[in-house]
Structure 1
Amino acid sequence: MIGRRLLIWAAATLVAAAGLAPVAAADPPRPPAGTPGFSIEQMVAARSIGQAVLAPDRKSIVYTHVGRYWGHPLFPAYGEDSNLFLKRIDSGDTIRLTSGSDATSYPTFSPDGRFISYERQGDIWTVEVANGHTKRLTTNAAADRSAVWSPDGREIAFVSTRWGRPSLYVMPADGERSGLRQVTQPGFTPIYPAWSADGRHLMFTAARDSHFYSRGLYRVPVAGGGEPERITPADDAKNAWPSVSPDGKRVAYISDRSGYLNIWTMNPDGSGQQQVTRAAEDQDYPDNDYIQTMGLRWSPDGKRILYFTNQQGNLRLRTVDVATGRTAIVENRDGSHHPVGWVDDRTVAYVYESYRDIPELYVKPLNGTAKRLTSSTYAVFGADKFDRLESVTWKSDDGVEVHGYLRRPTWAKAGDKLPALVLSHTYNVGQFYNQWSPIFSYLVQSGYTILTVNHRGSNGYGTKFRDLPKGDWGFAQLKDIESAAGYLRERGDVDADRVGMLGYSMGGYMTQLALTARPDLFRMGVAVFGLGEIVGDPQNSSPNYIWHLGGSETEQLARYRNASPVTHVPKLKAPIMIVHSYGDPIEPVTKIHNFTQAMDAHGKRYEVKLYENEAHGLRLLDHQVDSYHRIMAFIDRYLRP
């Protein structure tokens, strides 16, 4: 599907039809200094540590592999590497526990360590650690996930979308055919379930308040039939990740009622609320649960909690003494640390990654030297192959301070004026972290400066900053995108006439809005799984838009239309590329057709690539490779001098 003024590249089309990526020869020639040290194919094929959980005996760790597409976490089809692997901490031995090519995720140990539950094909399975015997516990067409074992190991609770909206269910440990009961009724959308120590209640997180980001912690009798009871204050705060202490007497959780995500504790019935950490930083993620190396980890003696704190996208590993609130640094180097658990009261396990370090498992005595347990490192990803990353801040025209990462090629010399790209992140409250995502380094080392923008609305900077887009969603964030473009153009090492934009998901929406509503801002743009319009479903308006725009589509139609990039297509000047899928449940392909039809009607330049057998993102490796090549060729065409 090609815009009227855009030529079709015959060679690239023929190669793609043959199931291969478009050949580099079709791209504009690059100088030797602009050649990345690794290829797109090598980057996509690389496996890295994803979710990781510590065994109950604390002698081994089970982990999965995970991938990223434009920095967004996905579970790619990695063949036999799409399985559960067990790493012995003392010996370093690795055992593959499952087989098959379907993505395997969210492992959880039974209390006695004999079994591991996990998710595959939308159902819950178990594998017996000693012999690798697997069993499918659920067989429903709906998605079953978030399995957690009862303290005695006899039952498993999980969240399922069967029969309507998500609800909490409990089944015997040998599967739903032996019995299944629904614990919560419609009206609750439970996430992050956890058992009480006595096995009589289940705790979970749910959104029940008027504030869009508010979440409460609830508990409900496991026997079923009871009404969930709220155990955190009804103060519009975001509360999540309940974690029961080893003696069962306290529950730790994350709450932003102080203005930042801090650690709190309470009694199992919600009494005795106490704030443990008091940092003007977020402790833990607010949302992304694609890795299970998150949440709070109690020490075996119940005296301390292992966690991380977010310092402008660097996730530092720390412990806190629950009684005194005194914190201590475990690992403080730049990058992202994800807590796995305590090997003993003086030793912890974690995953570490950075923009040039692939995720790996580590163990470390609190006052000793870290030991790496896994070795998924690839020779091609040497540190010298990556770009230079600098944490920067600037101010938008209205005085709001914005943070991001400025990235330049290592080979760039003083006086080199490079073309540049502004990048916008996924999710409303997403953030660019110092994490493994080599596509960004590939882009930079190809000859571009990029500025990743954590615009207002992003997490990691407190609730006040997060809530700034309320009342002006889309255009509030656009102020920071405009200021980012201005920041780049004022630099002496950027070609001010060759600045473009790229974004995925929420970032794709921001790219489409920036190019249509601010037509002179960028020379080109690439919107990957973006949102071209937010109108068209007045009876089921998104809670996101209702809160941010002050009402439903019926009540605020003018605001909804103004916040839809398709409305501003007549003003579009720069060429735009759209990457999407036929099966995207968030932005239906019909909306993409509406956007391209509007561009056709006004004679705009564009290219669209739609992929089959995908949802909101590309998990098939050949699709990732193909899209990366197409996007690089499009960027080169319009930004390379």
Structure 2
Amino acid sequence: MRKLLLLFLFTGIAATAQKNLTLQQATSGKYQEFAPKSLVSPLWRKDDRAITYMSDNYASLMQRSEAANWAETTLVTKTELAAAMKAKFPDDAFMLQIFPYNYQWKDKGTLQLEVSGKNKMYLVLFDADKKEVKNAIAISADAKNQVLSPDGSTVAWLNDNNIMLSGKSDKTVTNDIDKGIVNGSDYTHRQEFGINKGMWWSPDSGKLLYYRKDETMVADYPLIQWDSRIAETKNIKYPMAGMKSEEVTLVAYDVASGNKVTLKTEGPKEQFLTCVTWSPDSKYVFVGVLNREQNHLKLNKYDAATGNFIKTLFEEKATTYVEPLHDFTFVPGHSDQFLYRTEKEGYEQLYLYTTEGKQLKKLGYLNVVIQDFLGFDASGKNAFYIGATNNGLDRQLYKVDLGSGKTIAVTTANGTHNTIVSTDGGLVLDSYSSITTPNRVSITDLKSKKVTEILNAEDPYKGKTVLPKMELVTVTAADGKTPLNGRLIYPANFDANKKYPVMVYVYGGPHAQLVTNEWLCGAGLFDYYMAQQGYVVFTLDNRGSDARGRDFEHVVHRNLGVNEMADQMKGVDFLKSKSFVDADRIGVYGWSFGGFMTTSLMLDHGDVFKVGVAGGPVCDWKYYEVMYGERYMDMPQENPEGYAGNSVISKAAKLKGRLLVIHGAQDPVVVQQNSMEFIQACIAAGKQVDYFLYPTHEHNVRGKDRVHLNQKIEEYFDTYLKK
């Protein structure tokens, strides 16, 4: 009887045993099955103390209001929205799969939405309380980059490379037949310099400002399409470092008259136009004019009616590079004052300027690096922003008094605070996570200090799988003084008396940070999956990466890879100091800049790294594009030593270990020529290298094929490192 009882108990344990992650879960589970519970698309209603967000099934827009003591109610359902659209447009069909998650609050009671019909798209102004359509403008279902005018009457949208207007004014703004002339595109300057739009309505809705990009002089670059009986060529415009770049202007279109005025942004034709901002009175346009060398920025003012240059407000120069990333933000009630973000004094922070170019106040706080500007309070006297602190690990909410410059930290708990502030500045919705907290959402009344908890997410892995132990570590950089943030994930069922192989996951380039004080420490689930397979998984944010200030990043200038590798090798020294690390079985994996780093480490430190997987790698920076490449490396003709020194193609003969190079055949970012030239150099040097191509993918392998990618990476490490 006792044996039967024991058999029953062990059988029950086996039935409920937690399993390792599957490859599918490791690929997409972080954002699906294992995503901590949260509020989806939360927004404060304008001029109201109520928060809205999506329901769990995306079928409704939910609301919590102070008046209802923050209880959850349903505000609008997709069924109600579809019925209201059908009443307005009875000849169309509206089968909404979900409630539009990219909604905005136009005012206190009006939602701005995009709703798809059977053959058209509609930009809709919807009365959320009356459940009726106030106004809707139909545009082509193939429309791109649609922008609604401030008064809600007209939509500007792109028909391929031309701008159309629909609504109160149905007009064709541009009609360029040559595809080399691109109007209104957010892909101007390849979306560097913070560019995320290509059209700007004036505040009075009377004018539309847009980019006109002439890339007819840029060389065609062929991408071979493999899906036809005879392969075809798709040409893209790809301005390589040191070669001819695009020429861009800004055009102001007067909706009433149809007149166009080109801003007289005089200077070299290949300069960059950034920080595009209308004045509140719609009379002027402010533009950041950056030279191609990217070391001299002029913040200029232009007359929108004539296009004439008025004055340069101020300038920024650097011995390395100047990188403008944000438009001006005008102060409410002060049409002659704006906030400007710059790292000119070491850390990206806020500065208060007049429209005459006078700096009124530096609003920076300690060494906090601003990440997101959140807006002002009702008086316009205080501004809110999210800043990176604690050596870049944490994200905190700050409030700064524009008059005195006094700054206070609104949130203080170590970790990552993702916050939004009500339009009156009195309430804060805080979504907080850390390495020990999946997600905790609360509303804080800044005046009374009352905190109302909305949700406290449970560990989404509990009862499903046991994630390996992870810890934050600190490594001193190769300069002997700078602390670097690292993440160490231990193998599953860790035994300190054993020795384990290591997978170093690396990126290492500007504008990226892999180690943060948030849930999972910023890691992807594939890292934890590999730890479950018996690997030590290590990641280090070297100098050159994000959120640590100007000097921390700018060490890369003219020598990409040099200081980054030196720091990564300090990480290797840290690993070797651990008794459980097998120093003879260290591998490295990275993508894009991380692919460049992986290949560089395999070649320059072949005695250390036995296996590498390099995805989409830059192999010679002369094959990369102008805007990013020349910022960090200057032109090849200006910096031949730097280009020669970090080219992995010229180092192919140094390869010792097993290296797998992976590339997307349709990659328009790091073109395949990079890896093909490297493979040819390996052949010439008599070096064996493995190569795998994803014929239909661009720079990243997305969708279901990413499971295939992760399986290939795992199998490569298992074959050549784990045994």
> How far off its partner does 1:165 sit?
4.3
Q: Which amino acid aligns with 1:508?
A: G
Seen in structure 2, the aligned counterparts of structure 1 residues 108 and 216 have a Cα distance that, compared at 3 Å, is farther
> How far off its partner does 1:472 sit?
3.0
Paired residues of 1:283 and 1:309 also in contact (CA < 8 A):
yes
The separation in 1 between residues aligned to 2:694 and 2:254, in whole angstroms, is 40
The separation in 1 between residues aligned to 2:248 and 2:41, in whole angstroms, is 23
Aligned twin of 2:379? 301
Matches within 5 A, 1:70-469: 88-90=63-65, 91=72, 93=74, 114=110, 116=112, 126-130=123-127, 131=133, 135=139, 136=143, 137-141=157-161, 142=182, 143-144=185-186, 145-146=196-197, 148-153=200-205, 157=209, 159=211, 161=213, 164-168=246-250, 183=263, 187-208=270-291, 210=293, 212=295, 217-223=299-305, 225-227=307-309, 229-236=311-318, 238-241=323-326, 242-249=328-335, 250-284=337-371, 294-311=372-389, 312-349=392-429, 352=432, 363-366=443-446, 367-369=449-451, 371-372=453-454, 379-380=460-461, 385-409=466-490, 411-425=493-507, 427-434=509-516, 436=522, 437-469=524-556
Paired residues of 1:216 and 1:239 also in contact (CA < 8 A):
no
The separation in 2 between residues aligned to 1:459 and 1:247, in whole angstroms, is 34
Q: Deviations over 1:343-390 (max 9, x none)?
A: 432112455555687789764323232544899x99458897545443
The separation in 2 between residues aligned to 1:133 and 1:380, in whole angstroms, is 45
Q: Deviations over 1:324-346 (max 9, x none)?
A: 23322333334433443334321
Paired residues of 1:309 and 1:315 also in contact (CA < 8 A):
yes
Seen in structure 2, the aligned counterparts of structure 1 residues 283 and 352 have a Cα distance that, compared at 3 Å, is same
Q: Which amino acid aligns with 1:408?
A: I
> How far off its partner does 1:609 sit?
2.9
Can you give the 5+ residue segments of structure 2 that lack an aligned partner in the other structure?
1-16, 66-71, 82-93, 128-132, 144-156, 162-181, 187-195, 216-245
Paired residues of 2:54 and 2:62 also in contact (CA < 8 A):
no
Q: Which amino acid aligns with 1:247?
A: G
1:35 paired to 2:20: yes
> How far off its partner does 1:466 sit?
1.8
Q: Which deviates the most, 203-212 or 321-330?
A: 203-212
> How far off its partner does 1:125 sit?
8.0
Seen in structure 2, the aligned counterparts of structure 1 residues 331 and 446 have a Cα distance that, compared at 3 Å, is farther
Number of corresponding residues: 573
Q: Which amino acid aligns with 2:380?
A: G
The separation in 2 between residues aligned to 1:224 and 1:440, in whole angstroms, is 56
Q: Which amino acid aligns with 1:598?
A: A
Aligned twin of 2:151? none
Seen in structure 2, the aligned counterparts of structure 1 residues 157 and 552 have a Cα distance that, compared at 3 Å, is closer
> How far off its partner does 1:53 sit?
6.0
- Over aligned residue pairs, what C-alpha RMSD do you find? 4.4
Q: Deviations over 1:65-112 (max 9, x none)?
A: 9xxxxxxxxxxxxxx98xx9965443554766898999x998766578
Aligned twin of 2:636? 553
Q: Which amino acid aligns with 2:393?
A: G
Residue from 571, 583, 591 that aligns with 2:674: 591
Aligned twin of 1:569? 652
Residue from 514, 524, 533 that aligns with 2:611: 524
Q: Which secondary structure does the structure 2 equivalent of 1:621 belong to?
A: coil
> How far off its partner does 1:573 sit?
1.0
Seen in structure 2, the aligned counterparts of structure 1 residues 49 and 578 have a Cα distance that, compared at 3 Å, is farther
Q: Which amino acid aligns with 2:284?
A: H
Percent of pairs identical after alignment? 19
- Structure with larger Rg: 2
> How far off its partner does 1:582 sit?
1.6
> How far off its partner does 1:265 sit?
1.0
Q: Which amino acid aligns with 1:403?
A: L
Aligned twin of 1:475? 562
The separation in 1 between residues aligned to 2:54 and 2:659, in whole angstroms, is 36
Q: Which amino acid aligns with 2:692?
A: K
Q: Which amino acid aligns with 1:244?
A: F
Seen in structure 2, the aligned counterparts of structure 1 residues 439 and 101 have a Cα distance that, compared at 3 Å, is farther
1:582 paired to 2:692: no
Can you give the 5+ residue segments of structure 1 that lack an aligned partner in the other structure?
1-31, 66-79, 285-293
The separation in 2 between residues aligned to 1:411 and 1:458, in whole angstroms, is 32
> How far off its partner does 1:172 sit?
7.7
Seen in structure 2, the aligned counterparts of structure 1 residues 210 and 504 have a Cα distance that, compared at 3 Å, is same
Q: Which secondary structure does the structure 1 equivalent of 2:472 belong to?
A: strand
Paired residues of 1:504 and 1:528 also in contact (CA < 8 A):
yes
> How far off its partner does 1:443 sit?
3.4
Relative to the length of structure 2, the TM-score reads 0.68
